Amino acid sequence: MSGLGGLNKTPSGMVMGLVQLQLPVVDTPTQLAAQTQRIVEMVGKARRSYPGMDLVVFPEYSLHGLSMSTADELMVTLDGPEVAAFKAACVAHQIWGCFSIMEKNPGGMPYNTGLVIDDQGQLQLYYRKYHPWVPVEPWEPGNMGIPVITGPKGVKLALIICHDGMFPEMARECAYQGAEVMIRTAGYTAPIRHAWQITNQANAFQNLMVTASVCLCGSDGTFDSMGEAMVCNFDGTVMAQGGGRPDEIVCAEVRADLVREARQHWGVENNIYQFFHRGYVAVKGGAQDCPYTFMQDMVASTARLPWEAEVAHTDGRSCGFAPPTRHFQGSEPNLLTAAAATAQPDLKDAA
């Protein structure tokens, strides 16, 4: 139940709006500035059309389009004018917002970054995409963890980006960190429609977690993005779903209190608990070992597929990118998370 698309808001409900934003063309700084203003205007539309909305979510690539350009003059920093405009829009319309930027990285390729800003204009969530859509995307893999925050109405929120959602481990990590609602923003085009739908539903059911997912929409003259906003309840059912109409805002009320109730009281298919306590009917507390060799090998940095030597695409040459020469430098602290216990952080150096 979605409260008739968020029109009927209950005291414990959080109303989310998923913006199927028209796929833009952004090749110049002037176009970047215009698209920034376009997103700001859509924040206003969200507030006007749904007075009870708590959080408006924009898709991946909503600011930059699908050109995959890494041109320095188009890349964004956390203290730049684009993020400042998003913060001001959230304050002006008293709404939380989820936004997408391609973040400048002086040490290498840019990051594909997601931000959640609260209704006071404060940055609450800062996430760099873990799994770029290789071999198509050139972005540096994320290195700051998958943060979970307390959002509107006390709801525990996580954010993943596009291809991240094809890995069940990503959704499991969000739930393990306490997320009750997982946002998934994307720029996917039509060939991914079926995989998009089944993974959004599976990620919800496997973790007793609401998933709220949205793609760009419409054509830029080359690519056709699909829209397909979806809100899936913790039992895997679809509560709200959009189609292919650009700039439609698909809205739903989500109930984190019901997620918490299910996680506490479900016996059959309480999968997020049972994964860590397998067979608890037969053995006290369930088996709590790690019987999965891929997990053990990954921790030891020795993971290797049986068919690894036969994999055809292992760099970006098929999509016009030169083979990389740098090695991944490993994870670093999320500056926003590290500073949260003291004060609103100075994030100028995070870019």
User: Which residues belong to the active site?
Assistant: 60, 129, 162
Residue 14 CB coordination number (10 Å): 27
Q: Where are the alpha helices (DSSP H) in 71-192?
A: 81-93, 168-176
The pair of three-digit structure tokens given for residue 229, joined into one six-digit string: 């906003």
**List of residues 6+ apart from 46 with CB closer than 8 A:** 17, 19, 53, 56, 93, 95, 249
Q: CA 305 → CA 290, 302, 311, distances in Å?
A: 19, 10, 10
**List of residues 6+ apart from 351 with CB closer than 8 A:** 77, 78, 79, 103, 104, 105, 106
The pair of three-digit structure tokens given for residue 331, joined into one six-digit string: 């994870």
Q: What is the three-class DSSP state of 152?
A: helix
The phi-psi region of residue 216 (left if phi > 0; otherwise alpha if psi is between -120 and 50; otherwise beta) is: beta
The pair of three-digit structure tokens given for residue 132, joined into one six-digit string: 């770029």
The pair of three-digit structure tokens given for residue 305, joined into one six-digit string: 């597929």
Asked whether 173 and 189 are in contact (CB, 8 A), the reply is no
- Chain centroid offset of residue 127 CA: 8
Asked whether 165 and 184 are in contact (CB, 8 A), the reply is yes
CA distance 185 to 165: 9
User: Which residue, among 104, 36, 114, has the nearest Cα to 72 in the 3D structure?
Assistant: 104
Q: Is 202 exposed, middle or buried (0-12, 13-18, 19+ CB in 10 A)?
A: middle
Check whether the bond before 135 is cis (ω within 30° of 0): yes
Q: Are strands 181-186 and 210-215 parallel, antiparallel or unpaired?
A: parallel
